[in-house]
Structure 1
Amino acid sequence: MYKKWALTVIGAIVFLLVCSATVSYIVDPYGIYPVTRKSFNEHKIGNRDPYLVKTYNSRDYQPETIVLGTSRAMRLDPPLIEQITGESTYNLGLSASNSYIQFSHVESLLKRKNNLKTIIIGLDFETFDIEYKTHVNFAEKRVASPFYYFQDIASTLLTKKSLLDSYYVLYDNVKNRDKYTKSSTLDDGSFNAEIKLRSEVSVNDLKRIAIQYEVSLNSIEYIKKIQDLCNEQDIQLYLYISPIHAIILETFWQMDQWPVYEDWKRQLVSIAPIWDFSGYHDISMSSLNHDTYYDDLSHFSKETGNLMVYRMLGSEDYAPPWFGVQITPDNIEEHLQKLRESRSQWDYRDTDMQELIQDY
């Protein structure tokens, strides 16, 4: 009697798990399985984990160009890159990623069947700090696995959350709404410019800037490894430094971190030429209230990203001549001197940045 009851319970549990997995697979709320139908599950759940989704989507898409970096890199627009180069493009930018994460993705993609011809990587000073941690959502086994990572299968098919998210996806798609499916990430991996960031994000970003930086040699080494892989595979590599806002630059200056910032650039150009979009100029000194060049203090806008793409990929007539300088070991010292001198252009230098940001 007990054995029969136990088998019945086990059978019921297995049946429910199979039903749950089937529903979650067919609806595919996270967009990682090859099941998408218009007006059924075309629009996926909005709060998806990009570290999960982008790993699988970048493989399935098999792009000729990938963009890597932090959430700042997500402002580079794949359609514009495709328009200029003719190469299919996917933006693999991941919030708070570091060079180790970026190297892991490059290495993984190159081990698979791929069409990669070009890699564009955004370099952000903060992520090279020796105290900077690898993002908690990064799963090395997921990136390295040739198939679906078992833990991902379980979390996306066999959980209460996946079942609820499946319901929300069906609800929004059938009702033609975006209550649950509005996302800050577009299908091409880039940032959804229709999403407006909260003003307090800028204040918090400024507070998170470290008092003291020390460049991690390991982080620099991973950029070197990416360069080596690109040389081996005959892949064009573009490295660029983001146009961080003058408020952040001034914070580096006032905290006596400018020498570290400069030395970081020196280490990078010893590896490969770098496009440097940083400095005190009309874009970086612009008001944060105008929503033209910056989404918030930490993130430049897609409009700014377009200017960067034009500059790097050869459509220079569409970008201001002063925006973006390709630096090498031959011109790095002259370039750094010009950046120091450009600080005098900003009327708000030497003021309290915490106070300035409130109304800037």
Structure 2
Amino acid sequence: MNNFKSILDTCKKKNITIKIFFSPVHASQLEAIYTAGLWSDFEEWKRQVIAMTPAWDFSDYSSITTEPINNDMENFVDSVHYDEQIGNLILNRLYNYHKERVPSSFGLLITPNNIESHLAKIRAERQNWLKNNQATVQFVQDIKKQITSK
């Protein structure tokens, strides 16, 4: 985090505008973070970033990140690499450009004032996502079992 703070400080000193965002990942990747026991670390990382600067969060359970997994996915190449069209939606949100094209649930500016409610919302969204995605949850758990049994 020291390097990140140094970058922010340098940008401020040189009057450089910087926009920070947490990239979208597929909900299956969020579940992998949870299954690996790293969810609290993931939340703490966001808290540490937000303590230094506001940031846009796209790494939640939105209409984009909960796309069903199949061979013809539109939004993701894999669980952490999104398609060009998603990159364009991110830029549209960051720069308030063609905002009517960006799903309302995709991307929220988080600050020290809303970080805790935002994280609580993500936890609640996860619970809702779990109800309809047991096969994906099982797939993630099976991968963890394979990795930890070696």
Could you say which TM-score interval applies, normalised by the shorter chain?
0.7 to 0.9
2:118 maps to 335
Could you tell me how far 1:282 is from its partner in structure 2?
A: 1.8
One-letter amino acid of the counterpart of residue 301, structure 1: D
Could you tell me how far 1:354 is from its partner in structure 2?
A: 6.2
1:246 maps to 27
Could you tell me how far 1:308 is from its partner in structure 2?
A: 0.5
One-letter amino acid of the counterpart of residue 138, structure 2: T
Q: TM-score, normalised by structure 2?
A: 0.84
Could you tell me how far 1:296 is from its partner in structure 2?
A: 1.8
2:140 maps to 353
Could you tell me how far 1:298 is from its partner in structure 2?
A: 2.2
Higher relative contact order (CA 8 A, sep 6+): 2
Could you tell me how far 1:333 is from its partner in structure 2?
A: 0.2
Verify: 1:318 aligned to 2:105, yes or no.
no
2:146 maps to none
Could you tell me how far 1:230 is from its partner in structure 2?
A: 1.0
Give the counterpart of 1:257 among 38, 56, 64: 38
In 2, Cα distance between equivalents of 1:290 and 1:311: 25
Verify: 1:309 aligned to 2:94, yes or no.
no
Structure 1: 4+ residue segments shifted above 2 A:
287-291, 349-352
On the 8 A contact 1:280/1:345 being kept in 2, the answer is: no
Could you tell me how far 1:262 is from its partner in structure 2?
A: 0.3
Other structure's SS at 1:330 match:
coil
Alignment of 1:55-134 (within 5 A): none
Instruction: Map Cα deviations across residues 294-338 of structure 1 (whole Å, 9 max, x no partner).
Output: 112220111111111000111222211110011111110000000
Q: Which runs of 5 or more structure 2 residues have no equivalent in the other structure?
A: 144-150
**Looking at CA atoms only, which structure, 1 or 2, has the larger radius of gyration?**
1
Instruction: Map Cα deviations across residues 150-190 of structure 1 (whole Å, 9 max, x no partner).
Output: xxxxxxxxxxxxxxxxxxxxxxxxxxxxxxxxxxxxxxxxx
RMSD: 1.6
Q: Percent of aligned positions with the same letter in both sequences? A: 34
2:148 maps to none
In 1, Cα distance between equivalents of 2:118 and 2:73: 29
On the 8 A contact 1:292/1:301 being kept in 2, the answer is: yes
In 1, Cα distance between equivalents of 2:86 and 2:2: 29
In 1, Cα distance between equivalents of 2:117 and 2:141: 31
Aligned length: 137
Other structure's SS at 2:19 match:
strand
